[in-house]
């Protein structure tokens, strides 16, 4: 009888044992979730307020207690944006796509050479690429101003493509190098044994495998070109082909009382970047972390 009782008590203690542990894990999980939601809400509040103001009528802008929700929403700001800012959006799209094309063409082949061909001076070149990322944009813009002025390419969209690519290409080489270093050498050797040249190996083997890195470099290059203001304001002071950043800047200067139109411009300009980030986040995570862990 006593043996049965002790066995029952041990069984009950064993049954009750994991429950406090599971309860503690559940409590920590709930706490972490609440903290994450609060921090996300704090970080996204400026975005929400931007959307709120873009839908607020002009007469409600100067209330002592602004509305947390647009009580009487209006789309006059968005109509003004589509009428005034649409050409600027087209120019920014053109500059962004041009920057992506130039960055991919100029960064993928050198990265393949650094990762797999390993020429002399690889470490020095990697250090120079890192230093190039540390140069302030305003310093580069001043240098480009003198060069562009001498060449007569001020106020051109393709001039901004060249300027923006100087920031994106070093970053692209570093990302591609890290990713291509993780490609097994046996894969390249098999292609070489089959008679493929170095160029064919790069084009037919390495590039298809490097899809995540291509998406990562393309996304960041586009975002840099899309959001650039320093180069645009320095190198495109009076041309017709102005990007959206200059469009917003000029719009604020000329219509500093129409805050719903100003915020609507900012919302419209943020949509392409947000959509691209959502669509490419899986590839970006894989591309950025490539090469971080070695087998």
Asked if 84 and 213 sit in the same domain, the reply is: yes
The answer to whether residue 146 is domain-embedded is yes
Cα–Cα distance between 277 and 97 in angstroms, integer? 16
Q: Looking at the domain assignment, is residue 205 inside a domain? A: yes
Whole-model pTM over 0.85 = no
What is the number of other CB atoms lying within 10 angstroms of the CB of residue 196?
A: 16
How many domains is the chain built from?
A: 2
Residues 39 and 92 in one domain: no
Residue 210 lies in a domain: yes
Given a contact cutoff of 8 angstroms between Cβ atoms, the answer to whether 172 and 108 are in contact is yes
Shared-domain flag, residues 107 and 209:
yes
Whether 151 and 24 share a structural domain: no
Same structural domain for residues 174 and 29? no
Q: Which residue is associated with the tokens 């490609």? A: 183
The values of phi and psi at residue 289, to 5°, are -85, -5
**Residue 180 and residue 112 in contact, taking contact as beta carbons nearer than 8 Å:** yes
Is residue 231 within 8 Å of 198, Cβ to Cβ? Answer: no
Q: Could you tell me the CATH number of the domain that includes residue 176?
A: 1.10.3720.10
Q: How far is CA 126 from CA 97, 110, 171, 177, in A?
A: 26, 11, 11, 10
Per-residue model confidence as pLDDT tens digits over 238-271: 767 789 888 888 777 655 667 888 888 888 888 8
**Tell me, what's the pLDDT at 165?**
92
Number of residues assigned to the chain? 295
Structure tokens at 53: 């103001």
State the residue range of the domain holding 48. Answer: 2-54
Does residue 251 form part of some domain?
yes
* pLDDT beyond 60 at 206: yes
Domain match, 253 and 131 both:
yes
Q: Tell whether the model's pLDDT for residue 162 goes beyond 90.
A: yes
Whether residue 44 is found in the same domain as residue 80? no
63 found inside a domain: no
Whether residue 209 contacts residue 216, with contact meaning beta carbons closer than 8 Å, is answered with no
**Would you say residue 256 lies in a domain?**
yes
């Amino acid at each position: 009888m006593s043996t049965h009782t002790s066995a029952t008590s041990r069984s009950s203690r064993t049954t009750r044992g994991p429950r406090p542990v599971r309860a503690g894990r559940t409590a920590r999980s709930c706490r972490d979730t609440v903290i994450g939601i609060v921090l996300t809400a704090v970080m996204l509040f400026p975005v929400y307020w931007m959307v709120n103001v873009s839908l607020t009528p002009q007469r409600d802008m100067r209330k002592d207690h602004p509305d947390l929700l647009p009580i009487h929403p209006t789309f006059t700001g968005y109509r003004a944006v589509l009428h005034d800012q649409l050409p600027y959006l087209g120019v920014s799209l053109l500059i962004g796509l041009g920057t992506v094309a130039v960055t991919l063409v100029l960064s993928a082949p050198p990265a393949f050479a650094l990762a797999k061909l390993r020429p002399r001076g690889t470490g020095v070149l990697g250090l120079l690429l890192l230093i190039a990322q540390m140069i302030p944009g305003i310093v580069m813009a001043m240098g480009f101003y003198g060069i562009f002025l001498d060449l007569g390419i001020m106020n051109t969209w393709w001039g901004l493509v060249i300027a923006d690519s100087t920031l994106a290409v070093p970053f692209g080489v570093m990302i591609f190098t890290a990713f291509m270093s993780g490609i097994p050498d046996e894969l390249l050797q098999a292609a070489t044994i089959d008679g493929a040249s170095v160029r064919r190996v790069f084009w037919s083997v390495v590039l298809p495998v490097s899809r995540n890195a291509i998406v990562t470099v393309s996304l960041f290059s586009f975002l840099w070109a899309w959001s650039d203001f320093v180069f645009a304001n320095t190198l495109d002071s009076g041309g017709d082909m102005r990007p959206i950043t200059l469009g917003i800047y000029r719009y604020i200067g000329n219509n500093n009382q129409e805050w719903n139109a100003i915020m609507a411009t900012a919302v419209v300009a943020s949509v392409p970047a947000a959509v691209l980030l959502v669509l490419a986040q899986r590839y970006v995570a894989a591309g950025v972390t490539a090469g971080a862990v070695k087998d």
